[in-house]
Structure 1
Amino acid sequence: MKSKNVNLKTGYVFILLNCFLIMLSSCCKNEKFVTHRISNISLSLPQSFVVKKELAEDSQVFSINARNKRVGYIYYGDYKPFEEDSFFITDDKELYEKYKNRELKAYFSKNTERDSKNGIFNVNYYYYDTINKCRAQIMMPKKANKGLIGIHFDSVDIYKNKMAIIVNDLSEENKELFLKIFKTIKINSAQH
């Protein structure tokens, strides 16, 4: 009889946990979005997100905060496009052994040129998309716990300022959410 009660209790806990997870995952889907403006850029974020101006010297930096946690940043000004260059690929075993555990990571490959061109050892995926008639570079992590979510515009005004959003909270919910947020970005064409 005890085993039936334990199975029944386990079943109830499982059902309650699933209901809680469904409610949690749908919280941002039903949340109202609010438009934020930074210079000639506007974007919509969930109402629960707070955008706060941070101290910066050569560009404008804003933190994106959700539930008392910093999830990312918005950069406006001089910001480099996304790229991964803190590693090298080699077909030389001695060179690989010398550098594989250092700050500059080494990867061994029998076809260095192909693997380099295809970004085999990159932490993120990169692609271009058109967001409200402007070309943007999108960055998405390859693995759930490593990399960044981001968008980069190479020129957003007549002064060739750049704009980037970098998100380091890599939950599946945030990946979906920020891809939606990226689609809301509008660049004022009068200044572009």
Structure 2
Amino acid sequence: MKTEARFLLFLCFLMMMYSCCKDQEFVNHTIANTSLSLPKSMVVKKERTEDSQVYSINAGNKHIGYIYYGDYKPFVEDNYMVTVEPEIFEKFKNNRELRAYFSDNSDRDYRNGIYNVNYYYYDTINKHRAKIMMPKKMNKGFIGIHFDSVDIHQNKMAIIINDLNEENKELFLKVFKTIKFNP
């Protein structure tokens, strides 16, 4: 009896694993000299732009992110300031466009990104250096990747995901690993 129960439990486990994995079939997409794999449930749509190529990533009727190819600035969080001056902090602390922080060592805190919304780190993907962006908190920030030069014209490429949840974080870390550049 125990053997049959274990077998039945094992069979249920395999069926659950199959149903979870079945929904995550990946499809290859090509943008200029770049290819990447996204889940079959996501659609990539070219947007109208003048100076670079922009593609929206959609899941159902929802925009979850964008792919930028061409002249694109790397990730920068410059909408805040860190100061040691109480007068300056008081002047800007209620400003909606520029967040202000008070610190006893503003240079160190700014250089180390203490008040950034996202974490940043570098990785090598398909022999190209990539800057990865991950939110410090799941309800703020973005998930993204940026390549500084992907072809002979020094075009840049970035993918930015604004639909933040733990599932998308894990999914797009896998998607980033599928990026390939053709000469």
> For each residue in 1:151-183, what CA deviation from the matched residue of structure 2 results, as whole angstroms up to 9, or x when unmatched?
000001000100000000001000000000000
1:49 alignment counterpart:
42
The runs of 5 or more residues in structure 2 that have no matched partner are 1-15
* Structure 1 segment 159-178 matched on structure 2, within 5 A: 159-178=153-172
> For each residue in 1:36-55, what CA deviation from the matched residue of structure 2 results, as whole angstroms up to 9, or x when unmatched?
00010000000010000000
- Tell me the distance in 2 between the aligned counterparts of 1:82 and 1:151: 9
1:136 alignment counterpart:
130
* Structure 1 segment 21-32 matched on structure 2, within 5 A: 27=20, 30-32=23-25
> For each residue in 1:111-165, what CA deviation from the matched residue of structure 2 results, as whole angstroms up to 9, or x when unmatched?
1121112110000001110001100000000011000000000001000100000
- Tell me the distance in 1 between the aligned counterparts of 2:86 and 2:27: 54
Going from structure 1 to structure 2, the CA distance change for 1:27 and 1:47 (only over 3 Å counts) comes to same
The answer to whether 1:183 aligns with 2:177 is: yes
Which letter maps to 1:41? T
State whether residues 28 and 46 of structure 1, in contact with CA within 8 Å, keep that contact through their aligned partners in structure 2: no
Percent sequence identity is 73
Q: Which residue of the other structure, out of 54, 70, 73, is the alignment partner of 1:77?
A: 70
Query: How far is the alpha carbon of 1:30 from its aligned partner?
Result: 4.7
SS in 2 for 1:36: strand
Q: TM-score, normalised by structure 2?
A: 0.87
1:153 alignment counterpart:
147
Aligned length: 165
Q: Which residue of the other structure, out of 92, 110, 118, is the alignment partner of 2:112?
A: 118
TM-align CA RMSD: 1.3
The runs of 5 or more residues in structure 1 that have no matched partner are 1-22
Going from structure 1 to structure 2, the CA distance change for 1:84 and 1:29 (only over 3 Å counts) comes to farther
Which letter maps to 1:92? E
Going from structure 1 to structure 2, the CA distance change for 1:54 and 1:99 (only over 3 Å counts) comes to same
Q: TM-score, normalised by structure 1?
A: 0.83
1:13 alignment counterpart:
none
State whether residues 62 and 74 of structure 1, in contact with CA within 8 Å, keep that contact through their aligned partners in structure 2: yes
